[in-house]
Amino acid sequence: MDGRASGRPEDETAVSMLDALFHQSPIGLHLLDSELRVVRVNTATPVMRGVSVDDLVGRPAREVYDMVEDDVDGMLGGVLDTGVPLLGRLVRARLNGVPRYYELTALRLQSPSGAVLGVAAAVVDVTEQKRAEARTGVLGAVRTRVGRSLDPAVTGEELAATVVPGFADAAVVEVVDTVLRGDDPPLAPLPPGVPLLRTAFAGGNALPTQAFPVGEVCFLPAPTPFSQALTDLRPRLLAPDSEPDWGSVDGARARTLRSVRAHSLLVVPLTLHGAVLGLISLYRREPSPAFETSDLALAAEMATHTALCMDNARRYIREHAIAATVHRQLLPRRPQTHASIETSFLSVAGVGPGAWYDTIALPSARTALVAGRVSGRPLSAAATMGQLRTAIRSLAAFDLSPDELLARLHGTADQLAAERACLPAGDPLRSEALTAECVYAVHDPLTGRCTLAAAGRLTALVVHPDATVTVPTTPAGPRLGTTQHTPFVATEVEVPDGSVLVVASDPGIASSLASPSAPLAAASDLRDRPLQDLCDTLVYRLPPDVIARHPAMIVARTRAFPPDRCASWQLDQEPAAAALARRHTRGQLAEWGVDDDICHSTQLIVSELVTNAVRYGMPPILLRLIHDSTLTCEVRDAGLATPHLRHAGTTEEGGRGLFITAQLADTWGTRYTPPGKTIWTEQTLSSPT
């Protein structure tokens, strides 16, 4: 294997080529004998730095390169035995104790007679290439895995879990405390005394101790590399020795570095547009190599991506907090109902910004139960929810049937959508569709029935006193705000005394609770069990996917209206009907113990309403008095003529009936129910009943 020529020209050419390769090739070349010992190497061989050729010749290849792989001898031996070349195989080794990566190509050497002489090996140092690939991989992993949560603290945890152990042996993330609450981050330099919360740590056994535990608020003393990084917003690469220059200023961190024998430290600020969000600290210790200057740029890119994700999460938290505040202010504080129904508002894990519930006390001891939800971003959904809730309350004052009320509400939603479409082109709300779902149910304790209509897929749930559960077949009307304008359809359902009504803003609640294992269906004491207990049981049994949507619900238990608190009389269509109505009213109010002032006013109201029904209405005429939290007077007839309040002239003899009625009653209105209409008034009683 001395490569000497035999005098032939081709042999001289081969020798010349071999000499050129060994003296001029930038690739490390090795000739190994059949025992895989070094016979000859060139000057480009990686291990030749500061080592003479005599120190390498005769040594095993594995020993020369301190190979990390256990099977390097097996790979070279396989080439020697089989003659199959080893091409571009990546192997790991250590050079002066520093991990390196080499690309190995090995070929078997044979004599013209076929005798195996050894192995020729080419070794290329690809350490920098592999490190660059590793950096690219780490950055790609950070961009993929960091930012999947809209929580700044979780974002820090995602970063720490991603960079350890691929890039660092340990990672610590600290975030400005106010940023976690959604406030604007402070501008650099970070003002003294601003607290930072340690939100994430990853390192396993690499860093068994920490200066501060996760979840603790700490302050950065100055000057240290940590405080300096948050002053000029530049990353720091440090090689801390046993006694750092800043150790006396921040003893907790200095002691931690000494205790874990960290030999390399990267301190990277989390910054965005000159504002400080937090700090990243990355550590390495033996046997990992020290951070290099090129790692600064990679760490800065990782920090930029993380800071952007944290700021997005901070903005979400801030918008969510504002939306929650607006939403909370727009929701009712307590149910508004009559004595014949016990109602509780129920929020599941917090009501979503677009969901709402409401109860509205209607005349004639009836109660409207409303639930709905608005789609869209939290703040705009909360604002739209408030507009729709106000519109429903305004429409409910006209005592409309559920289907007619939703039809009017649909028109209101159309108007709101049209106003949104007229916003400036740069307003993001303009491109956000306004859509909402709503269910409106009216419970009448005097008839024991509930009438409801729905915009969208929402409905009500009825749990009867015998624990059977029914979901009324409510035709789904068009969602509010859509271009569909098919008619809304009202449905009536029996609600016996002691039943439980559930009205919710999520269609999944009715379908979940209607199953045989429904939580309320198993309750044997629906009539006497505390309503709050029923509400808690309902929440505990809801499926997780329904809870995650944060629905709003109303749980109402019905009671029979006391029969002695309602009286009605049928009247003939004749002039004497008014006098008869006054006598009936006077006697009934005396029996109920109503004071004389209310009794006198009510007789005048009844007289005027009955007189109008006799003159302008159609038989049959029915007078009804309802003694609830208020005193309700109703006069029903079969005519459809609409009464109007007007101011009669000084010389006119008629036209003052409704004017007098409006002055004596707290409120009055007209309700149309087949086959006619009902004129009603309400008066507040002077003392509780």
pLDDT tens, position by position, 452-509:
999 999 989 898 888 788 888 888 889 998 888 889 999 999 999 888 899 988 888 8
Tell me which of 293, 319, 345 is where a domain ends.
319
pLDDT < 70 stretches in the chain: 1-11, 14, 23-24, 44, 46-54, 64-70, 96-97, 204-209, 241-243, 347-350, 516-526, 644-656, 686-689
Whether residues 379 and 473 share a domain: the answer is yes
Whether residues 411 and 482 share a domain: the answer is yes
Considering the domain boundaries, does residue 97 fall inside one? yes
Using CA atoms, how far residue 13 sits from 16, 17, 20, 527, in Å, is 5, 6, 10, 108
Residue 489 belongs to a domain with what CATH number?
3.60.40.10
CA dist 480 and 400 (Å) reads 18
Whether residues 224 and 81 share a domain: the answer is no
Considering the domain boundaries, does residue 447 fall inside one? yes
Using CA atoms, how far residue 220 sits from 9, 39, 189, 243, 274, in Å, is 77, 60, 12, 19, 19
477-494 burial string, b = 16+ CB within 10 Å, else e? bbbbbbeeeeebebbebe
Half-sphere exposure (CA, 13 Å, Cβ side) for 488? 28
The residue among 494, 525, 627 whose CA lies nearest residue 567 is 627
Whether 661 and 609 have beta carbons less than 8 Å apart is answered as yes
Whether residues 103 and 208 share a domain: the answer is no
Whether residues 192 and 296 share a domain: the answer is yes
**Residue ranges of the alpha helices (H) in 361-459?**
378-396, 402-421
Half-sphere exposure (CA, 13 Å, Cβ side) for 292? 8
**Residue ranges of the alpha helices (H) in 514-620?**
531-541, 544-547, 577-592, 596-616
Residue 227 belongs to a domain with what CATH number?
3.30.450.40
Whether residues 146 and 74 share a domain: the answer is no
Q: Retrieve residue 241's tokens.
A: 């020795």
Considering the domain boundaries, does residue 267 fall inside one? yes
CA dist 33 and 39 (Å) reads 6
Whether residues 497 and 639 share a domain: the answer is no
Question: pLDDT at position 3, please?
Answer: 46
When divided into structural domains, the chain yields a total of: 4
The residue among 187, 169, 171 whose CA lies nearest residue 179 is 187
Whether residues 461 and 520 share a domain: the answer is yes
Coil, strand, or helix at residue 432? Answer: coil
CA dist 493 and 634 (Å) reads 24
Considering the domain boundaries, does residue 599 fall inside one? yes
SS (H, E, C) 94-153: EECCEEEEEEEEEEEEECCCCCEEEEEEEEEECHHHHHHHHHHHHHHHHHHHCCCCCCHH
Considering the domain boundaries, does residue 154 fall inside one? yes
Residue 29 belongs to a domain with what CATH number?
3.30.450.20
Question: pLDDT at position 11, please?
Answer: 64
Question: pLDDT at position 650, please?
Answer: 47
Question: pLDDT at position 652, please?
Answer: 46
Whether residues 288 and 380 share a domain: the answer is no
Considering the domain boundaries, does residue 585 fall inside one? yes
Global pTM value: 0.69
Q: Residue 172's domain spans which residues?
A: 131-319
Considering the domain boundaries, does residue 216 fall inside one? yes
CA dist 631 and 300 (Å) reads 74
Question: pLDDT at position 404, please?
Answer: 94
Residue 654 belongs to a domain with what CATH number?
3.30.565.10
Considering the domain boundaries, does residue 257 fall inside one? yes
Whether 211 and 219 have beta carbons less than 8 Å apart is answered as no
Whether residues 217 and 156 share a domain: the answer is yes
Q: For helices 152-163 and 294-330, what crossing angle results, to 10°?
A: 150
Q: Retrieve residue 406's tokens.
A: 């939703």
- pLDDT, tens digit (0-9, with 9 covering 90-100), for 632-681: 999 999 988 777 665 544 444 455 677 888 888 999 888 888 888 999 99
Residues in contact with 608: Cβ distance below 8 Å, sequence separation at least 6, in sequence order = 657, 658, 660, 661
Tell me which of 296, 319, 342 is where a domain ends.
319
Question: pLDDT at position 525, please?
Answer: 63
Tell me which of 505, 536, 558 is where a domain ends.
558
Whether residues 586 and 659 share a domain: the answer is yes
Q: What are phi and psi of 162, to 5 degrees?
A: -80, -40
Whether residues 673 and 612 share a domain: the answer is yes
Determine how β-strand 476-477 pairs with β-strand 449-455.
parallel
Question: pLDDT at position 485, please?
Answer: 83
